[in-house]
Amino acid sequence: RWFPLKLAGERVATFFTFSATKKFERELRLAGLRLSETQAMCEDAESCQASDFIVRYEQQVQRVQSAANRLPATQRQGASEKIITALAQHDVIFGELQESGPKNVQDVFAQATEKSRQGLGHAFESMVQQLTPEVQKRVTEKLRLAMPQFKMN
């Protein structure tokens, strides 16, 4: 019932976050929160209505991408490592939701997993392109180790 007010409050707080790095970190944290809300909504597999929460999660991932693109070059390596951590965590949660969720939403979770990988992966790739080749290699190797199933373009 109060959820729309909560979302509005988050948007206002994010708007008044002026540091590009802090805004990126906030958007990334909110993406994790949207995913946690989806997970909580689906604890009771019989009443799982995940679609609205998945849409909110996907919108939040788009905000992460936008915030990542506005980061100064000096902050991109640290931010790319945070995305690696988030990608791995989100992938695990989506995997659990796919396994434990009711049949009628398993496809929704499979699609959301792919969109998460694409969205956060795109943010990662755009940041990595701005790094030196040596740092690119090191950060990309961290991603490969954390998520062997993730394919970079």
Cα separation, 31 vs 33, in Å, equals: 5
Report the percent of the chain where pLDDT is more than 70.
95
Q: What is the pTM of this model?
A: 0.82
Tens of pLDDT, residues 81-127: 999 999 889 988 888 888 877 777 788 888 888 888 888 888 888 88
Give the confidence band of 10 by pLDDT, cuts at 50, 70, 90. Answer: very high
Nearest to 147 by CA among 61, 78, 75, 81: 81
Q: Which helix (H) or strand (E) holds 27?
A: helix 20-41
Nearest to 122 by CA among 33, 58, 56, 54: 58
Nearest to 107 by CA among 51, 65, 38: 51
pLDDT of res. 153:
62
